[in-house]
Structure 1
Amino acid sequence: MKEGKITILSFEFFVFAMAVFLSSCTGCSWPTESRRDDRISLMSWNVQNVFDARDDGTEYPEFDPASGWGLGDYRGRLASLSEVIRLAVPGGADVVMLMEIEHGGVLDDLANDYVQGLGYDYWAASQGADSAVQLGILSRFPIRKARSRSIHLPSSPSLRPIFEVELEMEEGEPLFLFVCHWKSKSGGAEDTEPLRIASASLVRKRIQELEGRQVIVVGDLNEAWNEWDLVGGAYQTALLPVSAKRQSGELENGGVLFDEAEGLWISGDREDAGADGCGLPLYTPWPSCDCNGSYYYRGGWEGIDHMLFSAALVDGRGIDLDSFSVAAEAPWCDEDGIPVSYRMRDGYGYSDHLPIVATLRSE
């Protein structure tokens, strides 16, 4: 385990890294049978708390076997997950990224007992000691490296980890995925924004270190692509649009001044991607998506689940973004497209989030 120390937002952060592999590559073969011509499909989904039936001491109280949570409940969740994985992208996406799984054992059970035959020969999960839920990936492509990067702020509880995964592609450069589940707005949007900024800043630092590589930031970021506009620029947000950037290199709106080195720059214009020469801004396809959102909360839609692409994936060369959509289909959403959340009282439902799907085209 490596330990590093960085300063972000005037706090001291300790970044811990640990590789977690739940499968190995012995005599690796490429996923030719499950692939569709020259396309690479990806799916990201917050699965709403999937816990096994063992008492690990870290689960939420309602999922403690002592509270009545049992093997049948767990198996039912896995069956529902596998149904969506098989149908959201027919035959399963080439890479599936999941938020809110208890640990890697969930992926192990899912891959071996429920989505077997779909070609997911590689899977890995994050490891965050202070988090009840983790991040996971199922892949038809070999996983070169997987590293959990957890952030600890002395003045607040530890944040959920950032899961950095390097995939070996069939040809060319590897694909780097940053699978995320940033802090929710529980406790107030503005009050919790520094915690999301901390996660965004760690991702930003790593993207700059990768210097123009193929990168996708994926997951439930708990804020919209246009969060800055939604709050009227009243305070710094974790996701910052290029439109908020001034030539002076600082942000100013409504008399409030911010340091542009914090947060993660994004744009809905492909031509803006990578303009700073250090891998930022990232491209967000949300403004061009003909969809309501991925999360329905208090009568309104929110697009808080993301795939953000580096310039190398939107420049029209090599592997390039072809499409982005929200998988809003029955049975995991109702006739209005609203997610069918999981209900513990009768064991019915899927998740309170809809999956998002992207397709990359390989030239």
Structure 2
Amino acid sequence: MIRFCLLFLPLLLCALEFKVATYNVENLFDAKSDGNEYEEYIPNNKHGWSDAMLQIKITNIARVIADVNADIIALEEVENRAVLEKLNAALGSKAYPYTFYPNKKERVNIETALLSRFPIEKTSSLFMKDQARGIHRVTLKIDNKTLDVFINHWPAQKEKEDERLMYATTLHNFLIKEEKGKEYLLLGDFNSPYQVQKDWGMGLVNVLNAGDKNAFLYNLWYDLPQDQRYSHSYGKQKSTLDHILIPKTLSDGKGIDYIPSSLTVFKKPYMLDDKNDPKRWQISDRGRGVHQGEGFSDHFPITATFHTLAF
């Protein structure tokens, strides 16, 4: 996807174009038991999770990632580094040269990860008290420019909004203190809608201040018509759990900039169920039964394109 371009912008020259994506891969566990798995992913029990099922899951997810063809892709719900490396290897010639997987807290089942075509300079993590997953900062070198990528997977909708507020407050304070004037982006599964629904989404919108172009962070969902703003479905509910958020430094004509209106919800016919929603990984009996060996994820990937500027 990396492309050098000769497109002249007003007084500026684009040097390098690259694509960023985020994708919740829905419970990518390995086939080894270490005591932290969800019941249906304990290998070789009544649910039928096994090496063979894992290989099907990896093949399916790798197909999506290869088709997305992003230069930087954040992944959510990955059990460990070993299964991340299996997934990367399944990409064959499209495997990524640089990977990131965090040091998990004890007894945490799934975390986030990153695949990159750009070198990783350094990494760090923000951990919240009594919260399982961290927020992870991966610093990338892109065309001699530095970009901090913050990977998020906030607590699920069924949890109290107070937990997501904790993530939002921690992250907002860090951005104000450490990232002022820098080029960075936030992406991942925030388990929040792009607008507050009752109390749900207060952390994202009110605390992190993510919204339209007047907000502290621009939520790229606003680039799409309202009826196209969704990447996840559950029953009849379509929602924007996944987000890509950018500060004003990524639209200031310096260093690295977002290409306006490039946000895309990535979906191909093979990824759709009979309602044109994400064809999630199939487990019978509403997820309590047996793995069926088909499907992908209950999320669609979302992508956005950026470019570096020659000066």
**Class of the TM-score when normalised by the shorter of the 2 chains:** 0.7 to 0.9
Deviations along 1:91-149, one digit per CA (max 9) or x if unpaired, are x210111000101111211222x113225110011232242001110100011112232
Q: Secondary structure at the match of 2:168?
A: helix
Find the counterpart in structure 1 of residue 92 from structure 2: 116
Deviations along 1:326-353, one digit per CA (max 9) or x if unpaired, are 1122211236531001013311100001
Q: Which aligned pairs between 1:307-326 and structure 2 lie closer than 5 A?
A: 307-322=244-259, 323-326=262-265
2:230 is equivalent to residue 293 of structure 1: yes
Q: 1:200 aligns with which of 155, 168, 176?
A: 168
Find the counterpart in structure 2 of residue 333 from structure 1: 272
CA apart distance, 1:84 = 0.2
Aligned 8 A contact 2:193 2:200 in 1: no
**CA RMSD, Structure 1 to Structure 2 (Å):** 1.8
- Rounded Cα–Cα distance in structure 2 between residues aligned with 1:94 and 1:226: 29
Find the counterpart in structure 1 of residue 209 from structure 2: 265
Find the counterpart in structure 2 of residue 182 from structure 1: 154
**Structure 1, gaps ≥5 residues long:** 1-33, 242-262, 274-280
Q: 1:171 aligns with which of 144, 147, 153?
A: 144
Q: Secondary structure at the match of 2:245?
A: strand
2:43 is equivalent to residue 80 of structure 1: no
Find the counterpart in structure 2 of residue 237 from structure 1: 202
Find the counterpart in structure 1 of residue 101 from structure 2: 125
Q: Match for 2:2: what amino acid?
A: R
Find the counterpart in structure 1 of residue 3 from structure 2: 36
Tell me the matched-pair count.
283
Q: Which stretch of the first structure deviates more once superposed, 351-360 or 284-293? A: 284-293
Q: Secondary structure at the match of 2:280?
A: coil
2:72 is equivalent to residue 95 of structure 1: yes
Q: Match for 1:61: what amino acid?
A: E
- Rounded Cα–Cα distance in structure 2 between residues aligned with 1:119 and 1:35: 14
Question: CA 1:78 to 1:211, structure 2 compared with 1: closer, same or farther past 3 Å?
Answer: same
- Rounded Cα–Cα distance in structure 1 between residues aligned with 2:194 and 2:185: 15
CA apart distance, 1:159 = 3.2
**Structure 2, gaps ≥5 residues long:** 5-15, 284-290
TM-score, normalised to structure 1, is 0.74
2:65 is equivalent to residue 65 of structure 1: no
Question: CA 1:318 to 1:331, structure 2 compared with 1: closer, same or farther past 3 Å?
Answer: same
Aligned 8 A contact 2:266 2:303 in 1: yes
- Rounded Cα–Cα distance in structure 2 between residues aligned with 1:313 and 1:126: 26
Find the counterpart in structure 2 of residue 51 from structure 1: 29
- Rounded Cα–Cα distance in structure 2 between residues aligned with 1:337 and 1:317: 40
- Rounded Cα–Cα distance in structure 1 between residues aligned with 2:126 and 2:201: 23
Q: Secondary structure at the match of 1:195?
A: helix
CA apart distance, 1:62 = 1.2
Q: Match for 2:168: what amino acid?
A: A
Q: Secondary structure at the match of 1:212?
A: coil
2:89 is equivalent to residue 143 of structure 1: no
- Rounded Cα–Cα distance in structure 2 between residues aligned with 1:212 and 1:337: 41
Aligned 8 A contact 1:128 1:148 in 2: no
Q: Secondary structure at the match of 2:263?
A: strand
Find the counterpart in structure 1 of residue 282 from structure 2: 343
- Rounded Cα–Cα distance in structure 2 between residues aligned with 1:111 and 1:235: 35
- Rounded Cα–Cα distance in structure 2 between residues aligned with 1:63 and 1:100: 13
Q: Match for 2:257: what amino acid?
A: D
- Rounded Cα–Cα distance in structure 1 between residues aligned with 2:24 and 2:165: 20
Aligned 8 A contact 2:21 2:74 in 1: yes
2:300 is equivalent to residue 354 of structure 1: yes
Q: Secondary structure at the match of 2:73?
A: strand
Aligned 8 A contact 2:263 2:304 in 1: yes
Q: Secondary structure at the match of 1:117?
A: helix
